[in-house]
Each structure stands twice: as C-alpha cells, then as structure tokens.
Copies of this chain bind each other. A is one copy, B any other.
Amino acid sequence: MPLTEEQRAEIRAQRGQAATTLRPTVPALEAMLYEPFEVLDHGFLRVIDYMGDDSAVVQAARVSYGRGTRKVSEDAGLIRYLMRHRHSTPFEMCEIKFHVKLPVFVARQWIRHRMASVNEYSARYSILDREFYLPAPEQLAAQSRSNRQGRDAVLAPEVAEQVLGLLRRDADQCFEDYETLLDPEGVGLARELARMNLTLNTYTQWYWKIDLHNLMHFIALRADAHAQYEIRVYADIMRQILKAWVPATADAFEQYRLGAVTFSTAMMEVLRRRLSGEAVEQAGSGLSKREWDEMHAALRLRG
C-alpha cells in the first residue's frame, strides 16, 4: 500500500475543505482531487490542482470576454479543428498538477519532458523510505531480439522467481547499508553521499505541473505501445484523468493523435496506387522492408 494512514488522513482533511470559486470547475475532476491512483507496487499518481476546462481552450482560441453563447457542440467542433490542425497554444491555457510516487529509473525517463515544472523529494535534504519497485512476475520479460529496447516473452516462473530474489536481495542490502551509512550514532555520512548507494528501483516522489498541450504530448509518447511498461502505467492513468477533466479535448486527442497514423511521401504513393486498384509489391514500392511492415501493420493488412 503506497500511503501511510497518516498520509491518508491528511488527504481526507484536504478533501474536507470546500470553498466557493468563480473559476471554471470540473465536478468529475473534483471527485478525484487529492485521491491517489495506485500504480505499480508502491507508486501512485494523484491530482493536486487544475486550472481550466474545455471551455477555457475555446475561450482562449477566440480571445473572448466571457463564456459566450455558443453551443457545446460548436465548442467541440472548434476543439476538433484545433487538434486536427495542430493549433497547440489554446491547449496550453489549461494546467494540471500531480503528486507522483515512482521508481527512480522511471523518474529518469519522465524528467526528459522539459516543458513542465517539478519539485522532487530531496535525498540530499531528507532520508528516503525503504520502498523499491519489484515487478509483478508477469512483467518480467526477456530481452527482445528484434527490438533492442523492447521486451519479449514473459520469463518462466522459476526464472522470474530467481530474478525477483536477486532484485530484492540487492535492494534490501543497499538500503540496509544506506541506513548504516546515515546512522547519526554510527558512521553519520552526509545524506547527499549516502544516497548514492541506493538502487535505481528505489521510489522517489515529486510534484509535477504541466499544461494540457504538453500533457497530451507526454501521454502520446508514454502511453504508446513502445514505451516502457513502468512509465506507461502512469500515462494510462493520465489518459483516464484527461477524459474526466476535458472530455471534448480528450475525445479529439484520441481521434486525431492517439489513433492517428502518419504515412510518409513514399507510403502515400503506395496507398494511392493501391486505392486505384494497382497491386504493389515491396520491391518496387520505394519502401524499406521495415517501413513496408510498419505500413501494413497500421492498415492491419497482410503485406
């Protein structure tokens, strides 16, 4: 369980303090506010604050004085138009803030998204908790042979057990020695030094704030099938939160980004020939074998 009873009490206390506001408010997101979505074995993601809604996107695109008198369907139409034509600035007008608990190796991928604000729990200043990520056995997969940064089949149960044994033993020992190094009655090493002994599956946490445009960019990259499972599970939850927060935007995002496929110049040529009834082989297509396969996978056709 990722949170202590004391932390849960703090969250309950915060959910008990309602106020009146003139700002755009989204009841479906208010219902989630502060509550942790559990992720992996000890991680979580929770929404701490938000600003704006679907109407805020529309209002910024129109630079209007108020909510206006347009119908909801007109707003949805404008949002689809903005999404389709990659007019990204109106989506920057909404903002969301998360509190996330995640393993360090996931945090290292995550932080590559620079268009966000972050405050991380400092291991220079504080002492980390004894919590580290151990994959569920069904996530322990072999190295892919075709894709150097991918996973293949799940490991056999007895091999998975061996893996978890090693991961647990090493994380345990490193954490014990971390505590030995820190012990103010013993070694008393500086925190900023002792932390280097921890393993990369140690959990850290941070506050992370991002605008809606960049959030969708994060989701598009990290909820993708090629993203590492351990970050994808966070992105998948954000994708659900998106639907609660800005349903019209989420809808357009699914249609025009997540479910969209881009074809290159040469692929378009193949497509045009195909649609006009011509049979095209990879050989004369101008596509590499890999591109040819990618194209047919996208069309769900056999090459």
Binding site for B on A (CB under 8 A): 3, 7, 10-11, 13-15, 17-25, 30, 33-34, 48-52, 56, 59-61, 63-68, 84, 89-90, 92-93, 95, 97, 99, 103-105, 107-108, 111-112, 114-115, 117-122, 124-126, 133, 135, 139-144, 148-152, 155, 159, 162-163, 166-167, 169-171, 173-174, 177, 180-182, 184, 187-193, 195-202, 205-207, 209, 211, 228, 254-256, 258-268, 271-272, 274-276, 291, 298-301
Contacts and interface: CB of A to CB of B under 8 A. Distances in A.
Contact of A190 (B143, B188, B276): B143
B17 A19 contact: no
A122 B140 contact: no
A167 B143 contact: no
A23 B31 CA distance: 11
A34 B7 CA distance: 36
Contact of A256 (B14, B195, B264, B271): B264
A67 B124 CA distance: 23
B155 A189 contact: yes
A187 B209 contact: no
Given A150-B190, A155-B189, A272-B300, 6 more contacts: A63-B205, A140-B193, A142-B189, A166-B181, A255-B266, A261-B262
